[in-house]
């Protein structure tokens, strides 16, 4: 592995994805235009006291006896006002709601497949006050947010409203957030998304070849090599991705094999919240409070994949743009060598 500033191509150890590590690119003038959140004429709809500006809540953490859709909550889940999928009807939920045949047909050798995008699209409003960042919240509160993700996933699984739930957080305008107030989202889908399928195929191949979990083996390699390791606790490990698409791209894994995020224990969630807050504080210092996307990858609700899949978080700090080369090739350009990024994240105080 080269330690010089010569550009290098790297392949992701899990999926078939290449990146260009090009340190010289960091020297060019500002990459991303500075974006700002729009002014909201009626104030922020996520703040406590403005519950009537969102659809009725589907879930909330309310420590007292406060009524639904009024103040007194700590975390609140509401349907997205502008959903990417349509809500399941009661008749369609349950048996085989996820297996309806695709509409459309073949034209010569070309197949046009379409199916109704029935699912769940929800916003998790992460706190009642107008805060923008998890880094100002107590660890206990971050644990409550993570437990909300888990509990909603469990409910969606039980109701068979989706086969896969993508939990994600867009923080900051450069990461696609449209509102400043801290929030995350979940989309429950009727099909397994292709990115997850690619990871499932990779873990299945690895299991056939070596007999174990690809992610457990990856964690062991990163723990012993240490060059990309940022922090390791008794339950979790955080390291920069070998073929990171963005500067400081970091993956967080439970160290014990665990396929399904929705089955994490309260103690695990507490440990995860501590590491998350620690990591985000470091990232803020290293990269001047960047926008980021946080993605949760977990085993789908269908299939026996949880035995060899391993849930994890992927953090994508949005410090570089995605432009023609990336769209054209699928290959991202990362100007900070992942080992250097880990060193900076470890050292900053
Ligand atoms: Zn607000
Ligand atoms: Zn594993
Ligand atoms: Zn992943």
- Nearest CA to 9 out of 26, 24, 21 is that of 21
Q: How far is the centre of ligand 3, averaged over its atoms, from the C-alpha of 226 (Å)?
A: 20
Ligand 3 mean position, distance from CA 240 (Å): 13
Beta carbons within 8 Å of 65's beta carbon, 6+ residues apart: none
- Of all residues in the chain, what percent carry a pLDDT higher than 70? 91
pLDDT at residue 168 above 60? yes
Separation of CA 107 from chain center: 37
Evaluate if pTM is beyond 0.75. Answer: yes
The tens digit of pLDDT for each residue in 81-133 reads: 989 999 887 655 444 444 445 555 556 788 888 888 999 999 999 999 999 99
Ranking 24-28, 45-49, 313-317 by mean pLDDT, the lowest is 24-28
Measured in Å, residue 68 CA sits from the centre of ligand 2 at: 39
Q: What is the dihedral of CA 69, 74, 79, 81, to 10 degrees?
A: 80
So what's the pLDDT on residue 188? Answer: 97
Give the mean model confidence (pLDDT) for residues 10-14. 97
- Separation CA 323–CA 40 (nearest Å): 29
Please give the distance, rounded to the nearest whole angstrom, from the Cα atom of residue 219 to the centre of ligand 3: 13
Q: Is the confidence at residue 4, as pLDDT, over 70?
A: no
User: What is residue 326's three-state secondary structure?
Assistant: helix
For residue 307, the model assigns a pLDDT of 81
Q: In this predicted structure, what is the pLDDT of residue 2?
A: 46
107 Ramachandran zone, left/alpha/beta (phi>0; psi -120 to 50): beta
pLDDT at 93: 46
User: CA nearest 349: which of 295, 282, 293?
Assistant: 282
pLDDT category at 30 given cuts 50, 70, 90 is low
- CA-CA distances (angstroms) from residue 30 to 33, 73, 80, 319, 328? 8, 41, 34, 10, 22
Distance 1 CA to ligand 3 centre (A): 24
What is the pLDDT at residue 94?
44
pLDDT at 334 exceeding the cut of 60: yes
Residue 70 CA, ligand 3 centroid: distance in Å = 37
Q: Bridge partners of 111?
A: 106
20 CA to centre of own chain: 22
- Of the chain, the percentage scoring pLDDT greater than 90 comes to 76
Give me the residues near ligand 3 (ion), CB cutoff below 5 Å: 297
Query: Nearest bound ligand to CA 260?
Result: 2
**Least confident residue range of 83-92, 150-159, 186-195, 257-266:** 83-92
Weakest-pLDDT range from 12-26, 90-104, 126-140, 229-243: 90-104
Sequence-distant (≥ 6) Cβ neighbours of residue 164 within 8 angstroms = 188, 189, 191, 192, 193, 196, 300, 301
Q: What is the pLDDT of residue 99?
A: 45
Torsion of CA 267, 272, 273, 275, to 10 degrees: 130
- Token match 């909330």: residue? 60
Can you give the pLDDT at residue 87?
Answer: 87
Look at residue 105 in the predicted model and tell me its pLDDT: 58
CA of 199 to the centre of ligand 3 (A): 7
User: Which listed ligand is nearest to 258 at the C-alpha?
Assistant: 2
**CA–centroid distance, residue 139 to ligand 1 (Å):** 20
């Amino acid at each position: 592995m080269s330690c010089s500033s010569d550009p290098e191509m790297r392949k992701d150890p899990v999926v078939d994805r290449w990146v260009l590590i090009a340190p010289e690119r960091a020297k060019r003038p500002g990459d991303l235009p500075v974006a700002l959140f729009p002014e909201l004429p009626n104030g922020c709809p996520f703040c406590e006291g403005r519950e009537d500006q969102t659809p009725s809540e589907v879930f909330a953490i309310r420590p007292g006896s406060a009524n639904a859709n009024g103040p007194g909550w700590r975390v609140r889940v509401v349907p997205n006002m502008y959903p990417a999928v349509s809500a399941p009807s009661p008749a369609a939920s349950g048996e085989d709601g996820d297996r309806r045949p695709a509409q459309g047909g073949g034209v010569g050798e070309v197949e046009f497949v379409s199916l109704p995008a029935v699912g769940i699209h929800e916003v998790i409003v992460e706190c009642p006050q107008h805060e923008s960042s998890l880094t100002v919240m107590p660890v206990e509160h971050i644990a409550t947010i993570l437990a909300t993700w888990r509990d909603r996933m469990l409910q969606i699984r039980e109701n068979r409203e989706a086969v896969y739930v993508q939990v994600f957080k867009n923080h900051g305008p450069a990461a696609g957030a449209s509102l400043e107030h801290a929030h995350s989202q979940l989309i429950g889908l009727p099909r397994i998304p292709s990115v997850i399928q690619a990871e499932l195929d990779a873990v299945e191949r690895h299991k056939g070849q070596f007999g174990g979990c690809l992610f457990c083996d990856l964690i062991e390699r990163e723990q012993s090599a240490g060059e990309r390791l940022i922090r390791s606790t008794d339950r979790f490990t955080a390291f920069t991705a070998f073929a990171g698409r963005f500067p400081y791209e970091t993956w967080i894994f439970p160290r014990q094999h665990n396929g399904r995020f929705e089955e994490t224990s309260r103690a695990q969630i507490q440990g995860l919240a501590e590491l998350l807050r620690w990591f985000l504080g470091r990232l803020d210092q290293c990269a001047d409070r960047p926008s980021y996307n946080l993605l949760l990858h977990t085993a789908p609700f269908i299939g026996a994949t949880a035995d060899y899949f391993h849930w994890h978080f992927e953090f994508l700090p949005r410090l570089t743009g995605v432009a023609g080369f990336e769209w054209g090739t699928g290959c991202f350009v990362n100007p900070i060598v992942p080992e250097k990024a880990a060193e900076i994240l470890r050292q900053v105080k």
